[in-house]
Structure 1
Amino acid sequence: MDKQREFVLRTIEERGVKFIRLWFTDVVGTLKMVAVAPAEIEGAFAEGLGIDGSSIQGYTRAYEADVLAHPDPTTFQILPWRGEIDPTARMFCDIHTPDGEPAMSDPRYVLKRTLQRAADRGFTFYTHPEIEFYLLKSGEYGPEGPVPVDKAGYFDNVPGGTAHDFRRRAVRMLEDLGISVEFSHHEGGPGQNEIDLRYADALSTADNLMTFRTVVKEVAIEQGVYATFMPKPFAGHPGSGMHTHMSLFEGDTNAFFDQSQTYQLSTVGRQFVAGLLTHAPEITAITNQFVNSYKRLWGGHEAPSYLTWGHNNRSALVRVPLYKPGKGQAARIEYRAMDSAANPYLAYAVLLAAGLKGIEEGYELPAEAEDTVWELSSQERKALGYKPLPSSLDHALNLMENSELVAETLGEQVFQHVLKNKRLEWEQYRAQVTPYEIEANLGLL
């Protein structure tokens, strides 16, 4: 038996684990779970656990319902919030069809397949996300909307504040789960927080993000507050993004590093950035998948809205930081559009695919944006050639629908389901009469 499987079985016995939650993700990025008893795990390792895929968003059609969940023993962790009463562990699963093939509808497999494309070119893809979210007094809200837990701002130290205790508890729990945290602090909005995970390979990062969301929700419940990853819960305050730092390595060498080039960004790195800028419009329906996502992108408060790159320019879509000049391992680029409600498996897959396309086709990187893009007039932006990201989910879906890159990366089944699911969301949103319309028009018309 595989050593990792042996370790899992031995740990279950030694720690008295009573339940094992098998985790997987639907196409929208919602975490799914089935709990099994310890006696079932050896069989699940050997043969998989049968589940009904037809009741999971985007997995199967009704007439081909059965799929098998195969737990990945490398992801085994005991869940710290369950305590010592009935200890509970979790493992992420890979979804297979009954004939043993990977299920094309499994978001984890979509990312694995894209990572393999990179590996075939000699690259390993590393990611480092900065995750923003809001803490609210409750998940309920009245006429005034949701109520944040504080009125603090960026990097504020709030003695005795809820956010301090929350972040301390959440970071400790993440560390207990083997997820390394680099920074945590209060963000710009009232009740808004940010926790940054240490860089890891993209598959581990995506698994860690699914765990992260669960931890944040659990700690919030424990502390009597509510955590939301909604991209823009407040019109007058910043949205919650998930800026992600990315790099490609060839073995132990950072392929993005070249000390002789501007900002020490290599030709490969420049081509990768050019790929992101070229394909950003068509991948935005994946990196920003909700109607509300576009309120963040186009609602001000420093969200990137135009296809630009820069060095210290935080208005750019892609930033090339230079934190440690001359240190090759630290070379990376930062993609700033993605929000923290994205499905990380699909989002990292399309970002990597866009960057690889730039490398494969030898894309030329345009001139960097030295101006603060938000402060320019529309005529100035047009003169400089700064093209916009999609302005709505509908706009983003129209661009994605015609994208060969997204269709190839997601595979036909996931591609079609995302289009169908998100078109329905847009239609439901479009049919709403909003408070803004009532306030602006009812007394006037």
Structure 2
Amino acid sequence: RQVQAILGITGDFRTKELVKHIIDNDISAGVITINNVNSDGLDLKHGIYATFMPKPIFGIEGSGMHVHQSLFKGNRNAFFNENDSYYLSKIAKYYIAGLLKHAPEIAAVVSQWVNSYKRLVPGHEAPVYLSWARRNRSDMIRIPGYQPGKENSTRVEFRVPDPACNPYLAFSVMLAAGLEGIEKKYELADPIEENVFEMNSEQREQKGIGSLPGNLSEAISLTENSQLVRKALGDHVFDSFIKNKKIEWDQYRTQVTEYELKKYLPML
């Protein structure tokens, strides 16, 4: 807290979570980077080790970086509409639809490591399916409840990113996806208030609920073919990112893991 105060960063501390106050998109990536470096330095000083690895421990929930997003027109929150049952404007719904539609192709940027997809599995409060709702932890996008007098707090919570992503790249592609939805007026599907993890594949198909890629290789393939991501990152960054991610996947897939040795040596 003392170091953050010196750096001018305010935050609220909760169980297992650090929640930042409202901050503009153009400086938020820098704040996240400073916070990560700050955490590493303090932890080493006190003889402990901080990790932003998405899934460091098997069998329990991983670490996410849920990003709360809203757009303002002047001093007015462009996402708020008092006459909507969810208090969401058309702009907000277009934005949500853009995030949902393009989530699979931006996944490799917001969840960019092999380990990221160990977190993104059903049943561990991490988003896997392309759906939205108000208070549903099985959905990819959640809408925090409206409180009278706090119209400017209207926002969408995108739950796919993890804390090991590059925030500069991640914020670029999230914003690009949302703005694409606004520009092309994407139609937003109905909210899913049921537990999506408890649905079978047929039920999800009937409701039109898609899913994220299952591993980094699948994610890279989708991103590599995405004009939206290429435009958001620029050719140079895009090409370098894809090249590096392919190298990472090739290095990973040739490894013989402890799991394989324990499972297969006794039986093969």
- Residue 213 of structure 1 aligns with an amino acid whose one-letter code is N
Q: Is the 8 A contact 2:97 2:178 kept in 1?
A: yes
1:259 touches 1:326 (CA, 8 Å); kept in 2? no
Q: Which residue of 1 aligns with 2:45?
A: 222
Give matches, 1:329-368, under 5 Å: 329-368=152-191
Deviation at 1:237, TM superposition (A): 1.3
Instruction: Calculate the aligned-residue CA RMSD, in Å.
Output: 1.1
Is 1:172 matched with 2:2?
yes
Q: Is 1:253 equivalent to 2:83 in the alignment?
A: no
Q: Deviation string for 1:91-125 (max 9, x for gaps)?
A: xxxxxxxxxxxxxxxxxxxxxxxxxxxxxxxxxxx
Aligned with residue 298 of structure 1, among 115, 121, 126: 121
State the shift of 1:423 in Å: 0.3
Matches within 5 A, 1:34-113: none
Amino acid at match of 1:337: V
2:67 partner SS? strand
Q: Return the index of the structure with the highest Cα Rg.
A: 1
Cα displacement string for residues 363-388 of structure 1 (whole angstroms, at most 9, x for unaligned residues): 00001111111122222222221111
1:184 to 4, 7, 13: 13
| 1:22-71 Cα shifts (integer Å, max 9, x gaps) | xxxxxxxxxxxxxxxxxxxxxxxxxxxxxxxxxxxxxxxxxxxxxxxxxx
In the other structure, the counterpart of 1:286 is: 109
The answer for the alignment partner of 2:56 in structure 1 is 233
Distance, in Å, in 1 between the alignment partners of 2:123 and 2:3 is 34
User: Mind listing any 5+ residue stretches in structure 1 that lack a counterpart?
Assistant: 1-170, 188-193
| Identity percentage of aligned residues | 47
Q: 1:277-426 counterparts in 2 under 5 A?
A: 277-298=100-121, 300-325=123-148, 327-426=150-249
SS in 2 for 1:341: coil
CA–CA distance in 1 between the matches of 2:22 and 2:97?
Answer: 22
SS at match of 2:86: helix
Residue 33 of structure 2 is matched in structure 1 by 210
SS in 2 for 1:207: helix
Structure 2: gaps of 5 or more residues: none
Runs of 4+ with >3 A deviation: none
SS in 2 for 1:368: coil
Structure 1 residue identity aligned to 2:4? L
Indicate if the aligned counterparts of 2:40 and 2:50 stay in contact, CA closer than 8 A: yes
Matched positions, count: 268
When normalised by structure 1's length, the TM-score is 0.59
**What does residue 80 of structure 1 align with?**
none
